[in-house]
Homo-oligomer: A and B are copies of this chain.
Amino acid sequence: MQSKNLLNQSAKSDSKPGKKGSFTLGQRRPGGQHNSTLVEQEEKRQDLGFGTRINDSYSRLINKDGSFNVNRVNEPFWHRLNLYHRLITMPWPKFYLLVVAAYITTNALFACLYLLAGKEHLKGLSESDTGNGFWGAFFFSAQTLTTVGYGHVSPSGYLTSAIAAFESMIGLLAFALATGLLYGRFSRPVAHVRFSRHAVFAPYLDVNGWMFRIINERSNQLVDVEVEVSLSRLENKPDGTPYRRYYNLKLERSKVNFFPANWTLVHPITDSSPLYGCTPGQLDESDAEFLILLRAVDDTFSQMVHARMSYRADEVLWGRKFKPLFDTSDNGNYWLDMNKLDDTEEMPLNL
Contact = CB atoms under 8 A, between A and B. Distances in A.
A23 B303 contact: no
B37 A205 contact: yes
A280 B22 contact: yes
A84 interface: yes
A332 interface: yes
Contact of A277 (B4, B281, B304): B4
A162 to B, nearest CB: 8
Given A54-B328, A152-B156, 4 more contacts: A8-B277, A50-B258, A84-B187, A146-B165
A47 to B, nearest CB: 7
A224 B16 CA distance: 38
Nearest to A270: B34
A346 to B, nearest CB: 11
A228 to B, nearest CB: 7
Contacts of A19: 280-281
A147 B22 CA distance: 72
Interface string A27-62: 111111011011001101101111101111011011
Contact of A282 (B7, B228, B278): B7
Contacts of A164: 139, 142-143, 148
A306 B223 contact: yes
B168 A173 contact: no
